Chains A and B, each alone.
Chain A
Amino acid sequence: MSEEEWLRQDRLPHIFCAGCGNGTVINCTLSAVEQMGWKQKETVFVSGIGCSSRAPGYISTDSLHTTHGRALAFATGIKLANPQLNIVVFTGDGDLAAIGGNHFIHACRRNIDLTVVCLNNMIYGMTGGQGSPTTPLGGLSTTTPYGSAEAAFDLCGLASAAGANYVARWTSYHVRELTRAILTGLENPGFSFIESLVQCPTNYGRRNRFKQVADQIEYFKSHTILVEKATRLREKGEEIPSDMILAGEFVRRNRPALGVRP
């Protein structure tokens, strides 16, 4: 099967804006699913509400587009009721870290056998560009017109601390690395969390000095530092600039997991 066969051709064109990074991450995910050799019949995509959560609607498997923030709770019910199903959750920074924050940490704690792909655009895109829990300090949005006064959430740090078996971060620039990370997440039993920063030219980029789509992708490329390298530098007493994106694998372990296929 090709990746295109995983898409509902009769639902195209999609609603994502020109230059949006979501399509890239959806492609990476479908590529990883395809490499796993999963059958459509045994695969379910689940999501909450927001731009990223529209993804399952374009995928031809069974899919559940749920309420805002609750995708992981719905997915938990599906997985426990039928552990034979492979489940991938698409979510965003607002969906996962704001309204769904409690479900996120508890799904990590339970280490339930789901793969969660978080498309982090650092903004509420669907509602027109409001600040989210991952909007950087000083970041501009319609609800932080003078710059966000709050620190951003480190979603990978949160997932690691809460008990997820696999945690990784990449960006929409790092197509190969991201696909490999998602593939590792799909392979690993337990809760796998893959965060991908995605450009949002419509609502984030144009307010935050990324005038062109390529500007933000270029930023992802030039401002990414591998976790291992960052650790080495820190050990040498060097400081990592706060605008650098830590990428790579944060956690890979084998804690007892819930809902793993018998």
Chain B
Amino acid sequence: MTRTEFMQGNIACAEGALAAGCCFFGGYPITPSTEVAEHMALRLPKNKGVFIQMEDEIASIAAVIGASWTGAKAMTATSGPGFSLMMENIGYAIMTETPCVIVNVQRGGPSTGQPTMSAQGDMLQCRFGSHGDYSVIALCPASVQEMFDLTVEAFNLAERFRVPVFLMADEIIGHMRERLIIPDQVSIEQRKPLEPGTPPFKPGENLVPGFPAFGKGYGVHVTGLTHDERGYPCATSPKLHEDLVTRLVAKVERARESITSCDIINPEAETVFVSYGAPSRTVQQVLHDHPGENIGHLRLKMVWPFAETLLSRFRDAERFIVPEQNLGQIAREIERHVEKEVVKIPKLGGDLHTPGELYAVVEDIQ
């Protein structure tokens, strides 16, 4: 039965994972993400699942990838320093096409920084943090409801594309408490199994190979080395490597228009805010407070892959204003795609932009 709760964002994330069928959580405590692990520790053992607190974040993501190869839907949750530690194995998940979900409740960095304060400083690390070329899917919730909904979506995308999918939350959304509607059922995608007799890394439809789960008799060899369609290491063939990496990028990038998710308000506006995560709440307040001013708003629920055509939906846009809890990480991506003026409103330290701060920029421009 659909039920309404008053819940913290991190706990809503854990509930979303359970609703999506997550049955394995490997993690390490870190502020401000710990409640996700705590709630999974409470709930998973009673739902035929496994919770394990590993010795560090490197081991956490490793255990998650291992669990995923048995066919389990698996997840970890962390914040900046732990996210940094996970980078090598994230690359391994990409190279081995292992579905999994990685939650990053972002806090102020670099280094230990501000453990209890909000930030969005890991948006480019999420995109580029592991070595080599690759492409990722990253979702950014802006409410407790979206901590639930987008966690479900993250699992579905991970299963469909066989990639690690990131839920790039922030401390504000992770720790805020709001009304949450938990539906009776959510739409769930299952990993497509490998057709027997097919080479295990031969791409199927959408460039994604079928999944040969361990213990089913496939006898698959999985390696982070460059491999051929049989999964066998073949690390010195230039063409094989180029083809493999190109496919791993293309399977995500080709789908970016079809999987992207956003809210578009006032598409005829000349001044358009672009936001994701917590700053979206301030932008929503500005639009609410100034209904007659025709201010546009593009709120990205999926930041990576970046669907640049969303920007051109604002046909009359003269400028894009981008408030972020970093020094302009996604504003820089927007600049790559538009000829119009891009106004950055960076903010560090953990406080949200106030509606006044954002509106002052609009007034200043006009």
Residues of chain A whose beta carbon lies under 8 Å from any beta carbon of chain B: 8, 11, 40-42, 44, 46, 56-57, 60-67, 70, 73-82, 84-85, 102-103, 106
Whether A76 touches B63, Cβ cut-off 8 Å, given contacts A63-B221, A67-B88, A85-B70, is: yes
Whether A75 touches B59, Cβ cut-off 8 Å, given contacts A60-B219, A66-B92, A80-B24, is: no
17 further A-B pairs in the complex, CB-CB below 8 A; given A77-B62, A102-B55, A102-B59: A8-B221, A42-B215, A57-B221, A62-B222, A67-B88, A73-B59, A76-B54, A76-B63, A77-B52, A77-B65, A77-B67, A77-B68, A77-B74, A78-B69, A80-B52, A82-B72, A85-B215
B66 touches A75 (CB 8 A): yes
A62 touches B62 (CB 8 A): no
A74 touches B219 (CB 8 A): no
A77 touches B64 (CB 8 A): yes
Which residues of the other chain, A, contact B74 by a CB distance below 8 angstroms? 77, 81
A70 touches B62 (CB 8 A): yes
The reply to whether the CB of B244 lies closer than 8 angstroms to some CB of chain A is no
Please measure, in the bound complex, the distance between the C-alpha atom of A75 and the C-alpha atom of B223, giving whole angstroms. Answer: 14
Residue of B nearest to A104 (CB): B55
Query: In the assembled complex, how far is the CB of residue A46 from the closest CB belonging to chain B, in whole angstroms?
Result: 8
Which of B23, B24, B59, B220 sits near A70, CB closer than 8 Å?
A: B59
1/0 per residue, CB under 8 A from A, across B70-107: the answer is 11101000000000000011001000000000000000
B224 touches A65 (CB 8 A): yes
Which residues of the other chain, A, contact B216 by a CB distance below 8 angstroms? 41
Whether A67 touches B224, Cβ cut-off 8 Å, given contacts A44-B214, A77-B66, is: yes
Which residues of the other chain, B, contact A76 by a CB distance below 8 angstroms? 52, 54, 59, 62-63, 66
The reply to whether the CB of B26 lies closer than 8 angstroms to some CB of chain A is yes
A73 touches B222 (CB 8 A): no
A77 touches B26 (CB 8 A): yes
B214 touches A85 (CB 8 A): yes
A78 touches B221 (CB 8 A): no
Please measure, in the bound complex, the distance between the C-alpha atom of A46 and the C-alpha atom of B221, giving whole angstroms. Answer: 10
Which residues of the other chain, B, contact A11 by a CB distance below 8 angstroms? 232
Interface size class of B (residues with CB under 8 A): 35 or more
User: What are 29 A-B contacts defined by CB distance under 8 Å?
Assistant: A11-B232, A40-B219, A44-B215, A46-B66, A62-B212, A63-B221, A65-B221, A65-B223, A65-B225, A67-B88, A67-B92, A67-B224, A70-B59, A70-B89, A73-B55, A73-B63, A75-B66, A76-B52, A76-B66, A77-B26, A77-B66, A78-B70, A78-B214, A81-B24, A81-B68, A82-B71, A85-B70, A103-B62, A106-B55
Query: In the assembled complex, how far is the CB of residue A90 from the closest CB belonging to chain B, in whole angstroms?
Result: 13
Which of A44, A60, A75, A81 sits near B50, CB closer than 8 Å?
A: A81
B215 touches A106 (CB 8 A): no
Which residues of the other chain, A, contact B66 by a CB distance below 8 angstroms? 46, 64, 73-79, 81
Query: In the assembled complex, how far is the CB of residue B59 from the closest CB belonging to chain A, in whole angstroms?
Result: 4
Please measure, in the bound complex, the distance between the C-alpha atom of A67 and the C-alpha atom of B92, giving whole angstroms. Answer: 7
Which of B55, B65, B72 sits near A103, CB closer than 8 Å?
A: B55
Which residues of the other chain, B, contact A42 by a CB distance below 8 angstroms? 215
Please measure, in the bound complex, the distance between the C-alpha atom of A235 and the C-alpha atom of B60, giving whole angstroms. Answer: 44
The reply to whether the CB of B204 lies closer than 8 angstroms to some CB of chain A is no
The reply to whether the CB of B196 lies closer than 8 angstroms to some CB of chain A is no
Please measure, in the bound complex, the distance between the C-alpha atom of A102 and the C-alpha atom of B28, giving whole angstroms. Answer: 14
The reply to whether the CB of B58 lies closer than 8 angstroms to some CB of chain A is yes
Whether A57 touches B92, Cβ cut-off 8 Å, given contacts A44-B215, A80-B63, is: no
Which residues of the other chain, B, contact A56 by a CB distance below 8 angstroms? 221
Residue of B nearest to A85 (CB): B215
Please measure, in the bound complex, the distance between the C-alpha atom of A177 and the C-alpha atom of B78, giving whole angstroms. Answer: 45
Which residues of the other chain, B, contact A103 by a CB distance below 8 angstroms? 55, 59, 62
Which of A41, A57, A61, A74 sits near B62, CB closer than 8 Å?
A: A74
Please measure, in the bound complex, the distance between the C-alpha atom of A65 and the C-alpha atom of B96, giving whole angstroms. Answer: 10
Residue of B nearest to A76 (CB): B63
Which residues of the other chain, A, contact B349 by a CB distance below 8 angstroms? none
Which residues of the other chain, B, contact A57 by a CB distance below 8 angstroms? 221, 223, 232-233
Residue of A nearest to B100 (CB): A77
B225 touches A77 (CB 8 A): no
The reply to whether the CB of B242 lies closer than 8 angstroms to some CB of chain A is no
A64 touches B215 (CB 8 A): no
Which residues of the other chain, A, contact B306 by a CB distance below 8 angstroms? none
Please measure, in the bound complex, the distance between the C-alpha atom of A82 and the C-alpha atom of B55, giving whole angstroms. Answer: 20
Query: In the assembled complex, how far is the CB of residue A209 from the closest CB belonging to chain B, in whole angstroms?
Result: 34
Please measure, in the bound complex, the distance between the C-alpha atom of A81 and the C-alpha atom of B100, giving whole angstroms. Answer: 14
Whether A82 touches B215, Cβ cut-off 8 Å, given contacts A66-B92, A77-B26, is: yes
Please measure, in the bound complex, the distance between the C-alpha atom of A67 and the C-alpha atom of B71, giving whole angstroms. Answer: 20
A41 touches B215 (CB 8 A): yes
B225 touches A62 (CB 8 A): no
